[in-house]
Amino acid sequence: MKCTLVGKEMVSYKSKDTGESRKMLILHVTRTTSRCQGIATDQVRVFSGQECFGRASDMPLDNAISIDYNQRGLVEDVELL
């Protein structure tokens, strides 16, 4: 998915399975889509155990990015365009 990164939010949460404290990065993005008049907004979650977590947290705002998902719907890769 091609979009524009407009915000980043670091969130701490507890794992339901283990009770451990974890981190999640929420990417706030905008994009155009044929189903939406104007600009669509999304929140994309990247969890601390994922390979692309560090790269996603270092990305500068107001840049075009590409987000790839795996077959389970989780973020697989995030890169600058």
Whole-angstrom distance between the N-terminal and C-terminal Cα of the chain? 11
The pLDDT assigned to 73 comes to: 87
**Contact indicator for 43, 27 with CB cutoff of 8 Å:** yes
**Contact indicator for 31, 3 with CB cutoff of 8 Å:** yes
What six digits make up the tokens of 55?
């790269």
Q: What three-state secondary structure class fits 45?
A: strand
**pLDDT tens track for 41-68:** 999 999 988 889 999 999 999 999 999 9
**What's this model's pTM, rounded to 2 decimal places?**
0.86
